[in-house]
Amino acid sequence: MEPELAIAFPAVGAVLTAILHPRPRAALVAGALLGAAGIGAVLLVAPGLTSDLLGVSLAISAMSRALLLVAAASLALIIAFPPPRADRAVLLAWGLAGIAGMAAIAAAPNLDLVILLTLAIALLHAALGGRRPLAARLRAPALAVALLGVGLVFARLDGSQILARFAAIGLIAGLAAALGTLPYIHEFDPEEPTSTSPIAWIAFLGPILALAVITRARELIPTAGAVFAAMLIGLGLLNVLWGGLASWLTEKGMSAWHYSFMADWGLVLCAFGILVADGQAAAVLLLFGIVLSRLPLYLWSRQSLRESIQTDRPINLLAAAMLAGAAPFAGFAARLFLLRGATQLYWPLALVIGIGLLLWLPPSLRLGRSLGTPRGRLALGVAIALSLSVAIGIYPQPILSLAGL
């Protein structure tokens, strides 16, 4: 019954934290305890083992479990070292809700449920409020659901071979729309709280959703597997180019961060498109980087971005190096796997990706500087994020083993 508990504990934790919000300490304790219980359940899950307690067969794969754990770690990092003037109880409530949703998506037995759950999460996320009107907040995720649904329908139709290709288009486009990558970039308001902004999709919910969609899509349309992979790589390269350039050249600092997530997702899509073990390993490490490194740094840099503070201290430059995927951080290991996978698949692809990787530096320097001068707990948080990234970069085996690779 671990999958059920992995969903239930964080969900209840989210509700309790929200209810107890007027008493922050109690809310935090309740949320932390139930969240920890949920993570315990995730840890206890035997990958692939099905649980049928509620009449629905729930199972969590090793890779999904790894992503759930890293999402929880990221949330813990953010709650333990919160950004200036952040309401930790609210962060925890929505973080736990997100983890519950992610656990549900990870455990869902088929793509129908994954899409329906995505729609439910999209509605809840849109209902959070924020600076944009509800219709605008709902537009891209709902389009994603529709496209995924159409793709799913096409995948199940009998007839011409081209139907499978249409299915691939629907699933890829739906995934891009759900994540908010090019060409379906979510409308982004720099002043919007992170929990209600598209960052929640691209940096927190996105990884598990992408994993669920891509792994199931491969089973659904085996005849269009090559087209599916090619589209993933094509869309990935497009996002690498766009994300890198836009993140470097855009005027607004917050938007630069938003685009940098897209660039990272470009690499992830390329990695998922490379149908060898190294590609999957690269994808896992890159997703770890997005959730465990880029997301916390983004949250920690928002205040200094508002105050337009730019600093060149060692911590800023190390953060820039981490964001750029320079050695010895995890990004370099991921890039190494990506190059190796691409070499096995088709070496010119490795050349293109390799050239694309150089686009990370200028924006990363900019983003690193926008971190300002972290002090006290914040500095400790940044140091921990950097250390985790270095540890994964030098010794990625435990993470890969956790992901079943």
Q: Residue 368 belongs to what H/E stretch?
A: helix 361-369
How far is 237 from 336, CA to CA, in rounded Å? 17
44 is a contact residue toward other proteins (CB under 8 A) = no
CB of 46 to other proteins, least distance (A): 22
Q: Is 145 in the site for other proteins (CB under 8 A)?
A: yes
Whichever of 40 and 362 has its CB closer to other proteins, that residue is 362
The yes or no reply on residue 63 touching other proteins (CB under 8 A) is no
Pattern 241-260, binding to other proteins, x per CB under 8 A? -x--xx--xxx---x-----
Binding test (CB under 8 A) with other proteins, winner from 6, 28, 89, 182: 182
Which residue, 207 or 368, is less far from other proteins as judged by CB?
368
Q: Please report whether residue 80 would count as binding other proteins according to CB under 8 A.
A: no
Return the residue of 41, 214, 326, 367 that touches other proteins, per CB under 8 A. Answer: 326
Give the range of 13-21, 38-46, 87-95, 306-314 binding other proteins by CB under 8 A.
306-314
Q: List residues bridging with 22 in a β-sheet.
A: none
Best CA proximity match to 140, nearest among 190, 200, 74, 68 = 200
Q: Distance (Å, rounded) from C-alpha 272 to C-alpha 278? A: 10
Please name which of 48, 39, 31 lies closest in space to residue 67, comparing C-alpha atoms. 39
Is the Cβ of residue 106 or residue 138 nearer to other proteins in the bound state? 138
What x-and-dash track marks residues 366-395 binding other proteins by CB under 8 A?
A: ---------------------------xxx
Residue among 16, 42, 45, 119 that touches other proteins (CB under 8 A): 119
Least separation, in Å, of the C-beta of 86 and other proteins?
24
Tell me if 339 contacts other proteins by CB under 8 A: yes
Per rule CB under 8 A, is residue 190 in the interface with other proteins? no
**Amino acid making up residue 271:** A
Between 19 and 394, name the residue whose CB sits nearer to other proteins: 394
Binds other proteins (CB under 8 A): choice among 1, 32, 62, 143 = 143
**Closer residue to other proteins, CB minimum distance, 17 or 316:** 316
Q: Quick check: 69 and 287 in contact, CB under 8 A? A: no
At 194, list the tokens: 């992170």
What gap in Å lies between CA 274 and CA 229, rounded to an integer? Answer: 7
8 A C-beta contact, residue 100 and residue 7: yes
Nearest in space to 288 (alpha carbons), one of 258, 315, 317, 267: 267
User: Shortest CA distance to 231 belongs to which of 189, 316, 308, 168?
Assistant: 168
Stretch that binds other proteins, among 1-9, 23-31, 264-272, 351-359 (CB under 8 A): 351-359
Give the C-alpha distances (Å, rounded to integers) separating 93 from 13, 31, 378. 7, 7, 21
- Judged by beta carbon, residue 63 or residue 79, the one nearer other proteins is 63
Do 356 and 350 touch, CB atoms closer than 8 A? no
Q: How many residues does the chain have?
A: 405
Amino acid at 302: R
- Out of 156, 348, 373, 380, the only residue in the binding site for other proteins (CB under 8 A) is 156
Is 282 a binding residue for other proteins by CB under 8 A? The answer is no
